[in-house]
Chains A and B, each alone.
Chain A
Amino acid sequence: MGGHRKAKADTEESVYMNVIPMVDIMFLLLLFFMLTADFGARELEAVELAAGRTIREDKQEEAKGRMNLNVYHTPTKMESGAVTCGDFDAMRPCREDSHWNIAIRGKRYGSKQLETWAKDEAYKQKKKDGKSEKEALDPLTTTELRVMIRADLRAPFRFIQEVQEALAQAGIYKLEYGAAEPKKT
Chain B
Amino acid sequence: MAGGGGGESNADNPLPLNVVPLIDVIFCLLLFFMCSFHFKQLEGKMEAWLPTDKGMNNNAKPQSDNLTEIRIVLQYDKGEGRVKRLFGRSEYADDEELGKLMKRQFDSNKANSGKEAPVIIQPEADVSWESVVRVMDIARLYELPKMEFSLAKTDFVIPDK
Q: Interface residues, chain A, CB within 8 Å of chain B?
A: 13, 16-20, 22-24, 26-27, 29-30, 33-34, 36-38, 49-58, 71, 93, 95, 97, 101-102, 107-114, 139-140, 142, 148, 151-162, 164-165, 167-169, 172-181, 183
Mark contacts of B23-51 with chain A using CB atoms, 8 A cut-off: 1 yes-contact digit, 0 otherwise: 10011011001101100111111111111
A-B contact pairs, 15 of them (CB 8 A): A17-B6, A19-B2, A23-B1, A23-B26, A24-B2, A26-B23, A30-B29, A58-B44, A97-B156, A101-B161, A112-B160, A162-B156, A164-B50, A174-B49, A178-B43
Find chain B residues with CB under 8 A from A148 CB. 45
A48 nearest CB across to chain B (Å)? 9
B2 near A20: Cβ-Cβ < 8 Å: yes
B128-161 contact mask (Cβ, 8 Å, vs A): 1 or 0: 1110111011001100000001010010111111
13 more contacts with CB within 8 A, not counting A24-B2, A180-B41, are A16-B7, A19-B6, A27-B2, A54-B137, A93-B130, A97-B156, A153-B129, A157-B125, A157-B127, A160-B132, A161-B156, A165-B56, A175-B50
Chain A residues near B123 (CB-CB < 8 A): 157, 161
Nearest residue, chain B, Cβ from A27: B1
Name the A residues within 8 Å of B134 (CB-CB): 50
Contact B19 A30 (CB under 8 A): no
Residues of A within 8 A of B128 (CB): 93, 153-157
Q: How far is the CA of A161 from the CA of B128 in the complex (A)?
A: 12
A165 near B44: Cβ-Cβ < 8 Å: no
Give bound CA distance, A148 to B47, whole Å: 9
| B9 at interface by CB-CB < 8 Å | yes
Main secondary structure of the interface of A (DSSP, over half): mixed
B125 close to A181 (CB less than 8 A): no
B113 at the interface (CB under 8 A from A): no
- The contact of A37 among B4, B36, B43, B46, by CB within 8 Å, is B36
Contact of B77 with A by CB under 8 A = no
CB-based contact A33/B34 at 8 Å: yes
- Which residues of B have CB within 8 Å of A169? 55-56
Complex: how many Å from CA A181 to CA B23?
A: 39
| CB < 8 Å neighbour of A113 from B1, B27, B160 | B160
Return chain A residues, CB-CB under 8 Å to B26: 23, 26-27, 30
Instruction: For the complex formed, measure the closest distance between the CB of A52 and the CB atoms of chain B, giving whole angstroms.
Output: 4
B6 lies within 8 A of A52 (CB): no
| Contact partners of A183 in chain B: CB under 8 A | 41
**4 A-B pairs with least C-beta separation:** A33-B33, A55-B44, A110-B160, A23-B2
A139 touches B36 (CB 8 A): no
Q: A16: which B residues are within 8 A, CB to CB?
A: 6-7
- Report the minimum CB–CB distance from B109 to chain A (whole Å): 21
With A27-B1, A36-B37, A173-B49 given, is the CB distance from A111 to B127 under 8 Å? no
